[in-house]
Amino acid sequence: MAKMWAGRTDGVTDRVADDFNASIHFDCRMYREDIAGSMAHAAMLGKQGIITPKEAEILRAGLAGILADLESGALAFDYTAEDIHMFVEAELTARLGEVGKKLHTARSRNDQVALDLRLLLRREMDEISASLRELLSVLADLAEKHAATIMPGYTHLQRAQPITFGHYLMAYASMIARDLSRYADARARMNLSPIGSCALAGTTYDTDRAFEARELSFDGVMGNSLDGVSDRDFCLEFLSASSILMTHLSRLAEELILYSSWEFSFIELSDAYTTGSSIMPQKKNSDMAELIRGKTGRVFGDMVAMFTILKGLPLAYNKDMQEDKERVFDTVDTVKACLDVLTPMLATMTVKEKNMRAAAAGGFINATDLADYLVTKGMPFRSAYKIAGELVAYCIANKTTLEELPLAVYQSYSDLFDEGVFAAIDLDACVERRCSEGGTSPKSVRAQVNALKNFLGE
Ligand code: ARG
């Protein structure tokens, strides 16, 4: 069959080349956006007298019919059409005859595809943002519940200082809150309409771009038509923000895996978010958390692919840009799928407070507090640090802990020690004293949770 664009050539292409060129297999996902854009376009053409108001009405009714039939399943995509734009236009013309051919006046597929992808991504980003809010709300509730649950805090994956589990969770909440604001920033820059840029140079018709933009809930129009059709920064921003988000999810997933191992045993994931082994009966594997960590790689891949596709492109539209959609769709689907699993996984996990506390009690995690105690007695920090280190070495050599060490031993290292040392190195006291803003004390954690809840509007 000859192509819609037959004229300059006979419009007959090789079948394999046709398949290679086509994007309908994946851009059919934008049918709602494509039809919404065409409805706005028809309204604008009618309002401006480029077509008659009657014709605009006929086009809009025809488009509404196509949408309804696609939604009901009465109409199926024709995968021999090159792309979703060609499919809708061809179907419209088949239904309406000559008037259908008027829809594409003062428009090009170049500005049409830029419009469709913006509309789709705007909707998807709003859905992802709603999921991020849910995740934040679960983190806030958990952090509130565990504002005083003591666990070891790590640096270099070595026990460092006691922290609260609530404090730990709020660290991830802080990251996710930034992710949410990154999507909001990207959305604001993205929410300008490219339609009316036409093929590249604008148009000779008396169009009203602002009207079309308003019809489609954009904040305004893009200021340069060459940029309007060739800009994919909004894809890069979405993929970059998503890569950062996935980095955060991956770090959290890694710790869920680690903390649910026998070696840590700080948490247990609900059975619903684990799998068994086909051979080892004792196994409870955190497959879903591992997949979140693993899928991070494909999102990075989408981001790098998109940058690579764009980096050498001359202005304005080039067919290379058709490769944008699968990258964007894949990241949308991956991010949503990960969030759909992660949020309930967190909400349903069991926190093994006793084990966390036992781990915090070993490892001389209160050695800094021991040094600080001597500082309060008047010793310079560097000297106090040295004595605390020697006491830890003594405990290791004698297989004991700072809590169990007799006062006499303490006093053999410095006569500044008295009974008060035991209260000073008590884990709860260590944590409670770190009440600086953003610190680990239950009070500081509750303040962080409140700030987050305010931000979420709860
Ligand atoms: N399917 C194309 C894409 O996804 C639509 C734009 C085609 N424009 C063109 N001049 N061939 O990018």
d(C-alpha 404, C-alpha 232), whole Å: 64
Cβ burial 92-119 (10 Å sphere, 16+ → b, else e): bbebbeebbebbbebbbbbbbbbbbbbb
User: Which residues share a beta bridge with 314?
Assistant: none
**Residue for token pair 């008590």:** 426
Q: CB within 8 A of 155, min separation 6: which ones?
A: none
Residue 110 beta carbon below 6 angstroms from any ligand 1 atom: yes
From the list 259, 242, 273, 255, the residue with the least C-alpha distance to 176 is 242
Ranges in the chain, pLDDT < 70: 1-2
77, 87 Cβ separation under 8 angstroms: yes
Measured in Å, residue 182 CA sits from the centre of ligand 1 at 29
For 441-458, write each residue's pLDDT tens digit. Answer: 999 999 999 999 999 997
* Cα 112 to middle of ligand 1, angstroms: 9
Answer yes or no: 156 catalytic: yes
Angstrom distance (rounded) from CA 310 to CA 233: 9
The finding on whether 322 has its CB within 6 A of some atom of ligand 1 is yes
**Measured from the CB, is residue 235 less than 6 Å from ligand 1?**
no
Helices (H), 379-441: 381-397, 407-413, 420-424, 427-433
At 1 the pLDDT is 57
Which protein residue has the closest C-alpha to ligand 1 atom 10?
A: 110
CA of 14 to the centre of ligand 1 (A): 18
Report the alpha-carbon distance of residue 293 to residue 256 in Å, rounded.
11
Contact partners, residue 104, CB within 8 Å, separation at least 6: 89
Burial 205-218 (b: 16+ CB within 10 A, else e): eebbbebbbebbeb
Question: What separation in Å is there between the alpha carbon of 387 and the centre of ligand 1?
Answer: 72
The yes-or-no answer on residue 146 being catalytic is no
For residue 83 and ligand 1, the question of a CB distance below 6 A is answered with yes
* Ligand 1 centroid, distance to 111 Cα (angstroms): 9
Distant-in-sequence contacts of 238-242, Cβ < 8 A, 24+ apart = 238/121, 238/125, 238/183, 238/186, 238/190, 238/328, 238/331, 239/299, 239/302, 239/303, 239/306, 239/327, 239/328, 239/331, 240/303, 241/179, 241/182, 241/183, 241/186, 242/299, 242/302, 242/303, 242/331, 242/335
pLDDT digits (tens, 9 = 90+) for 372-408: 999 999 999 999 999 999 999 999 999 999 999 999 9
Atom 12 of ligand 1: nearest residue by CA position: 322
Instruction: Find the distance separating the first CA and the last CA of the chain, reported in whole Å.
Output: 59
Please identify which of the residues 217, 261, 270, 277 carries the catalytic annotation.
277
| 86 Cα: distance to centroid of ligand 1 (angstroms) | 10
Q: Which atom of ligand 1 is nearest to the CA of 27?
A: 4
Is there an atom of ligand 1 within 6 Å of 109 CB?
Answer: yes
Whether residue 317 has its Cβ less than 6 Å from ligand 1: yes
Strand partners, 99: none
- Reduced to 3 states (helix: H, G, I; strand: E, B; else coil), residue 96 is helix
Q: Which of 183, 77, 53, 92 shows the shortest CA–CA distance to 131?
A: 183
- Torsion 269-270-273-274 (CA) sign: positive
Cα-flanking dihedrals φ and ψ of residue 326, to 5°? Answer: -65, -35
Q: Using most ligand atoms within 8 A of CB, pick from 322, 324, 325 the residue to mutate for ligand 1.
A: 322
Q: In the chain, what are the domains?
A: 15-105 (1.10.275.10), 110-141+157-358 (1.20.200.10), 359-453 (1.10.40.30)
Q: What is the DSSP letter of 314?
A: P
Cα separation, 81 vs 8, whole angstroms:
19
Q: Are 279 and 271 in contact (CB under 8 A)?
A: no
Q: Which of 156, 193, 243, 250 does the annotation list as catalytic?
A: 156
112 touches ligand 1 (CB under 6 Å): no
Which of 34, 226, 319 gets mutated to test ligand 1 (max ligand atoms within 8 A of its CB)? 319
Rounded to 5 degrees, φ, ψ at 355 are -65, -40
For residue 363, the model assigns a pLDDT of 81
Nearest to 164 by CA among 436, 434, 451, 455: 434
